[in-house]
Chains A and B, each alone.
Chain A
Amino acid sequence: MKEVRIHGRGGQGSVTAAELLAVAAFEDGKYSQAFPFFGVERRGAPVTAFTRLSDKKIRLRSQIYEPDYVIVQDATLISAVDVAAGLKPEGMVIVNSEKSAEETGLDAGIEVRTIDATGIALEIIGRPIVNTTLLGAFAGATGEISIESIKRSVLARFPGKVGELNVRAAEKAYQIMAATERTPHAKPGAREKRETHEIHEKIGTAAIGKPGTSEVTKTGDWRVFYPEFDMEQCTRCGKCLENCPDAAIIKRTLSGKEADAARKKAEELEKAGKINKAAVKKAPIRYELDPTYCKGCGICANECPIKGIKMKLEEK
């Protein structure tokens, strides 16, 4: 039996990836099993999904503690979650990253293979949904499953154009991975166990929590896109601010020289007929992003009545 653990964030399709892999293995004539473990059901929160592949019927229902393979859909998870926990000595970690294996920060001695799945997905699918791309990479890197079965499984779930684009992305990742040899395993030494999973904080008698936990969770780490505000066209209606689920848009009123400069620029725009007089008065009011908490969900861009917010790809 081979066991695969997938680490991702809510909304990245980790659970779907686990399911598609199980379906593909079934197509290959194997027994398989896929199941999720949800933390908080929230876009961007860490999610784990599991797939087992076997020649025999699978009875085991526990989570996977000693995976043969780990797929990391989002490299930012590596600092928060011990993604390689329990990895078998001959195991492999596949990370979605444009960086090299060494730069991922995973312990030396683990076989790490990286692939820029986000880049491939954006290029081919047009969206940073990387699950199918990584399944192609998994097929190419491990040989545990045929790329043809992955393709069939993706097309069955996503018929039509969407499926075809996902298949192309998977195929590309497959080719890249299949073309590179597996590195011979360095014998993994005693891996330093990280404490990220262990909970030691004492609890009270009843489940009574304290406020302010959203300050602790740096949701900015989850971001693939960020909003760019067109402050020239912005009417300062405040809808983006009201709708931001993480209060990551900050309203700031400029003063002194900064305010004068903003007003001056606005007056020029008014003369050029680009904005109205009311907007000149509001020019010192600025909406700014709090990058620590903006998770790039795009709700602000969606809500903006003048479509003055554009979601831009984060340069990592």
Chain B
Amino acid sequence: MDCCTITQQMDIPTGTEKIVLAGNPNVGKSIFFNYLTGLYVSVSNYPGTTLEISSGSYRDYAVFDTPGVYGVSSFNDEEKVARDVIISADIVINIVDAVHLERDLFLTQQIIDMGKPVVVALNMMDEAVENGLDIDVKLLSEFLGVPVIETVATSGKGLDTVSESISLARRGNNSLQENQEIYSEFNHLTDEIKDRAEGLLIMEGDSFVAEKNGREPLNYREEIYRIRRRRINKIIDRVVSISQENVNIKTRLGNLMLNPLTGIPLLVVALYLLYQFVGVFIAQTIVGFTEETIFINIYEPFIRNIVNRFIEPGSLFGRLLIGEYGLLTMTVTYALGLLLPLVTGFYFFLSIMEDSGYMPRIAALTDRVLTFLGLNGRAIIPMLLGFGCVTMATITTRLLGSNRERIIAIFLLGLAIPCSAQLGVIAGLIAPLGYKYFIIYIITILAVYIIAGTGLNAVLPGQSTDLLIDLPPLRVPRLKNVFIKTYLKAKSFIIEAGPIFAIGSLLLTVLKETGLLRLLQNWLLPITNWLQLPQDVSTAFIMGIVRRDFGAAGLNSMSLTPEQTTVALITLTLFVPCIAAMMIMVKERNWRDAVYIWFGSWITAFTVGGIVAHII
């Protein structure tokens, strides 16, 4: 259902040849893409995923970028998108990291086996030389049967040669030939379905491609992968020699990042920088400007004024649009004025950590701790992002390996990770109370996080996946790449989370208009007693559903003892994520799971809040 429509959607005249850029993650594909297509690039969402596909044109060709993948298959969204785009290619420019031929040539050989005409750009040749690698490029080209061009994309070297070589792209030497039995089965199959690329993937057991062709997937994947791997190892043995083993500063730094004694302090420094950048600079300076100055002072009066001309502001419709939780007022200010800058700041920082190769090392370092919670090191990405926006982080849990991990991560995000909107207000309220209460708050939240994670890990059936990741070499990130990545992710935040915020505020206006909101507040009364808090606090709790920071901010105006403030903040943090985060749980999981998670966190919040209230 999600197959092979991408190039048709993109409005390419029939008969135009398609060039597809393919390669492993972080090999510099985007530089090639930008070099070929220049300024006129269109970016479109790939249906059914959060992924964006860039396309443009070069001479008479249409050019497509693909997500970085280690192979063509259906293990995750990136691979599915890359698979569909590569299947539709007339010519593939395969960008290969010269330092990591073992890993990268697997994809190269797979694309060659798919029968696509290929040009290989052997990128990062400067680093290969730096690392003492000697690569016989001519021999490599002979083995593969396709042109291989040395490049250093970051300095522009060889890009022109690659573009001139497009017409020289050739179908290379198929690795399946090394096993006659499989090769003849492959030929037999491709004769029938008339597509070598799809034939290969059916042989490799890809059920999507098989279904598209009305066939059953075949069971040769492992055998074919082995043949391919053996062939690549053989090629590398012949082509690559290490003239001297260089232990350079990057290798050393990489090891320091992984060794807990040095790695944990480094991580603490990185997180402190993240806090300074997002928590202080963006949350205070930038958001102060965007939320207050632009949205509350300029935008909101402006939009009220316009709407007033056409709709009676007191009417139900008027209140839906520009009322207290108005679609055009509060939702827009919250999503664009407050969350967008914070999320963008987070993504900017995370992109730097990703492109520099630090992120996978953090994942390796934190893997041990996260396995106790039934997660693995990869979950560090949504967990960090949760401090920016839980709604967005919940979407990011898609990168986790199993449903089990996704449920645990989503529950923990909703329960015990305060988002940036909330953090500021919490910090403001708790700081004047002194260290004792601050420590009580931190320890309680941390304890809940750990107990909930280990508990779910023990209770949920099945097994979580294990960490198996590639640690790319450390590199200085290219700022342009970081900006593009940040832009694309911020955009997808608006597209994915925007409507959810809108639905959330619509729901609230309805709750308020129907009197249900009042009713909810009344239901909470006995709970405030159990928490030893004044009854007014229930309003703050309800407001916390609207926007997490509203809830905490609502406490500002009440006169509470330090104990009460601490209990209220603990309960609020655990209580619920905002309504947008609640909605996204339904979208990412389903109603049943979402309801479990909501009630689970409510019960936890009130239980824990009450216990703390009775102890302190």
Chain A partners chain B = no
Interface residues of A (CB under 8 A from B): none
- Residue numbers of B with Cβ under 8 A of A are none
